[in-house]
Amino acid sequence: MRCGYDVETVRAAERALMGTLPDGALMRRAAFGLATACADMLGGVYGRRVVVLAGSGDNGGDALYAAAALARRGAGAVAVELAPERTHPGALAALRAAGGRTVAPEDADAVIGRADLVLDGIVGIGGKGGLRPEAARLAELARRARAAVVAVDLPSGIDPDTGEVAGEAVRADVTVAFGAYKPGLLIDPGAEHVGALRFTDIGLGPHLPRTPALEALQHADVAALLPSPSGESDKYRRGVVGVVAGSERYPGAAVLAVGGALRGGAGAVRYVGPGADAVIARFPETLVSAGPPAKAGRVQAWVIGPGLGDDSRARQAVAEVVAADVPVLIDADALRLADREAVRARRAGTVLTPHAGEAAALLDADRGDVEGARLAQVRRLAEEFRATALLKGSTTLVAGPDGAAVRVNPTGSAWLSTAGSGDVLSGLTGSLLAAGLSAQDAASVGAYLHGLAGRDLPPPFGAHELADRVPLVRASIMDSVTNDALPRT
Ligand SMILES: NC(=O)C1=CN([C@@H]2O[C@H](COP(=O)(O)OP(=O)(O)OC[C@H]3O[C@@H](n4cnc5c(N)ncnc54)[C@H](OP(=O)(O)O)[C@@H]3O)[C@@H](O)[C@H]2O)[C@@H](O)CC1
Ligand SMILES: [K+]
């Protein structure tokens, strides 16, 4: 699990650790990790031109110490001082002792234009609000330059706690995070600015709390959560999923949701709705029923919404499913049709899966407000509906109603936003709910597998291919974890 901790928590851990160490030890650890990452990135240090964008806080200090280390190995180092009278004195002295020089921001254009590497030490976790004009100008110069950009702790201009970006922010090729990941490194729009994310351990680990603000699953976590059928499994143990999706107008949504559920490992799928012919033609193993959901027979979880429409049949089906006492996933049209109070009153797990536009409608907000503040908005959704909310996007977020860590999906890609992709995700997540995963586990594992399937396919691809790919990515996760566990010979 990759964990993100907010600034307040990181500061507290830092204080606890500092009390046990000599002065400056943490900054030396950070700068050493940073210099190593820069040397790797440059593929050699001697003769390279390094420019430090140096703010007056410790973030600038880290950058200056790292540049001093590179200068001692033969790099040319120049620091652009944003507030010369307040630049970290020890770090500046180290840079000068190593042969580095300084320039004022107004003379930065030429040195940045010639640089091989720009180190962004403008601001780290001490940043407040959008970048000030002079800092914003330097960030823009760095973006336009041919130099590689390495961000110190985080790209300046992104909010460390939320990933929000107000105005200009540094766009990094590599970001070297110290001691702990901050949520803003993992959530868009901040995450888009991070480039390759590297981690330097400075010893904060024992001082961090058990529950982070944010978690990102990795292969081993997903492997541990995925149900695997045992010798005694029958279809009910693997889980029967009920799918209420599709309409005369959109029968394809039914096929995609059923496909997602079958490929996700459901023991059986019951389909309810007007797309039965299309579903049977593609998946003859589906149990179709013509009546309403309440008469469809036993299921362990319901998926409702993709391509459903909003006629009276659809409204009635949503009301019945929301009233069921098994886990329910509510998507697409059903998000609009579900009664908020009825959802809040549910006792079994509930997963809502809106994209930003649907989330905005549910929260009575603008789509842009949702895109720009994804973490706050997914938490709000979970609280207001007392449900697990999965907010789709390039960094899909999953929040539970209980205030536990929000999960961020690390496997997303832009190619996933293709027609019908969400229908597959709904069916897939429904199969995990039916297999007994908690709402938050089902939603985050569903997003993980769905994202990996998208990365595994040569783009462009159709949504039906995503479903077909799920068994393969699932097998590759299991293989990688089993191989890691084998003793090395
Ligand atoms: N945590 C740890 O364990 C460790 C942390 N370490 C490092 O310390 C960093 C935190 O350092 P920090 O606390 O000194 O703050 P920092 O990020 O340098 O920012 C302050 C500067 O930013 C400026 N500034 C503010 N807002 C701004 C804006 N919008 N636009 C422009 N400027 C703005 C502000 O200006 P001022 O308000 O003072 O005028 C001041 O100059 C952390 O990220 C990591 O790199 C490591 O060394 C080792 C262990
Ligand atoms: K920075």
Nearest one of 298, 150, 318 to 245, comparing CA atoms: 318
Q: What token pair was written down for 427? A: 């069916």
Domain 219-484 class in CATH: alpha beta
Dump pLDDT digits (tens) for 375-424: 999 999 999 999 999 999 989 999 999 888 999 999 988 889 899 999 99
Distances (CA, A) of 414 to 188, 202, 333, 394: 12, 34, 23, 6
359 CB near ligand 1 (under 6 Å): no
Dump pLDDT digits (tens) for 30-45: 999 999 999 999 999 9
Give residue 486's pLDDT: 67
Place of tokens 């593929």: 43
Percent of the chain exceeding pLDDT 70 equals 98
ipTM over 0.95 threshold: yes
Return the best residue to mutate from 59, 134, 154 for the ligand 1 pocket (most ligand atoms within 8 A of CB): 59
Banded model confidence at residue 26, pLDDT cuts 50, 70, 90: very high
pLDDT reading at 348 higher than 70: yes
Q: Which atom of ligand 1 is nearest to the CA of 29?
A: 48
Taking a 5 Å cut-off on Cβ, the residues next to ion ligand 2 are 120, 124, 151-152, 156
What stretch(es) of the chain map to CATH 3.40.50.10260?
Answer: 2-211
394 a known binding residue?
yes
Q: What token pair was written down for 350? A: 């509930």
CATH fold for the domain made of 2-211: Rossmann fold (3.40.50)
* pTM for the predicted model, two decimal places: 0.93
Banded model confidence at residue 111, pLDDT cuts 50, 70, 90: very high
Dump pLDDT digits (tens) for 76-104: 999 999 999 999 999 999 999 999 999 99
Instruction: Give the distance (Å) from ligand 2 centre to CA of residue 452.
Output: 30
Hey, CA dihedral for 20, 26, 28, 34, is it positive or negative?
positive
Q: Which atom of ligand 1 is nearest to the CA of 27?
A: 47
How confident is the model over 329-337, as a mean pLDDT?
Answer: 98
Dump pLDDT digits (tens) for 441-459: 999 999 999 999 999 999 9
- Phi-psi label, residue 397: left if phi above 0, alpha if psi -120 to 50, beta otherwise: beta
Instruction: Give the distance (Å) from ligand 2 centre to CA of residue 155.
Output: 5
Instruction: Give the distance (Å) from ligand 1 centre to CA of residue 176.
Output: 15
Order of strands, edge to edge, in the sheet holding 196-200?
101-103, 76-81, 49-54, 117-121, 148-152, 174-178, 196-200
182 a known binding residue?
no
Instruction: Give the distance (Å) from ligand 2 centre to CA of residue 380.
Output: 29
Instruction: Give the distance (Å) from ligand 1 centre to CA of residue 57.
Output: 4
CA neighbours closer than 13 Å in the CB half-sphere of residue 243: 39
Hey, CA dihedral for 81, 195, 136, 179, is it positive or negative?
negative
Dump pLDDT digits (tens) for 199-249: 999 999 999 999 999 999 999 999 999 988 776 667 777 899 999 999 999
**Phi, psi at residue 174, to the nearest 5°?**
-135, 140
Mean pLDDT (the chain) is: 96
132 CB near ligand 1 (under 6 Å): yes
What stretch(es) of the chain map to CATH 3.40.1190.20?
Answer: 219-484
How confident is the model over 309-319, as a mean pLDDT?
Answer: 97
Q: Which-ligand-closest: CA of 137?
A: 1
Give residue 320's pLDDT: 98
Please name the residue whose Cα sits nearest to atom 39 of ligand 1. 56
Query: Bigger pLDDT: 310 or 486?
Result: 310
Banded model confidence at residue 481, pLDDT cuts 50, 70, 90: confident
Return the best residue to mutate from 14, 178, 185, 201 for the ligand 1 pocket (most ligand atoms within 8 A of CB): 178
Banded model confidence at residue 173, pLDDT cuts 50, 70, 90: very high
Give residue 232's pLDDT: 66
Give residue 233's pLDDT: 66
Hey, CA dihedral for 452, 327, 267, 251, is it positive or negative?
negative
Give residue 167's pLDDT: 95
